[in-house]
Amino acid sequence: MPFESRRNGKHYSRIYLNINAMNIRGWEWVIILVLVLLLFGGKKIPELMKGIGKGVRGFKEGLKDIENDIKSDDDASTK
């Protein structure tokens, strides 16, 4: 499988996020950015980015809460 490798007998999974894999280069990015600007307008883009930032922050907080719950369950089970 292309996303898996073996190192020292252990099995590791790798996921690549490679922009070049999509074959999008300089001028194509400019065209995409112009289209986004035309679709959403200059005033909507900051609002969109703010919403994305809040979503990412909420996701990270949720992950941290889950990790804390797992740690507290492990601590309770060892006592």
Angle at CA 17, nearest 5°, toward 12 and 56?
Answer: 100
Number of domains in the chain: 1
Mean pLDDT by 10 residues, the chain (79 residues): 49 50 77 87 85 94 92 77
Residue 4's Cβ-count burial label (10 Å; 0-12, 13-18, 19+) is exposed
Residue-number span of the structural domain to which 48 is assigned: 4-78
pLDDT at 8: 52
| 48/23 Cα distance (integer angstroms) | 26
pLDDT at 71: 86
pLDDT at 1: 43
Residue 15's Cβ-count burial label (10 Å; 0-12, 13-18, 19+) is exposed
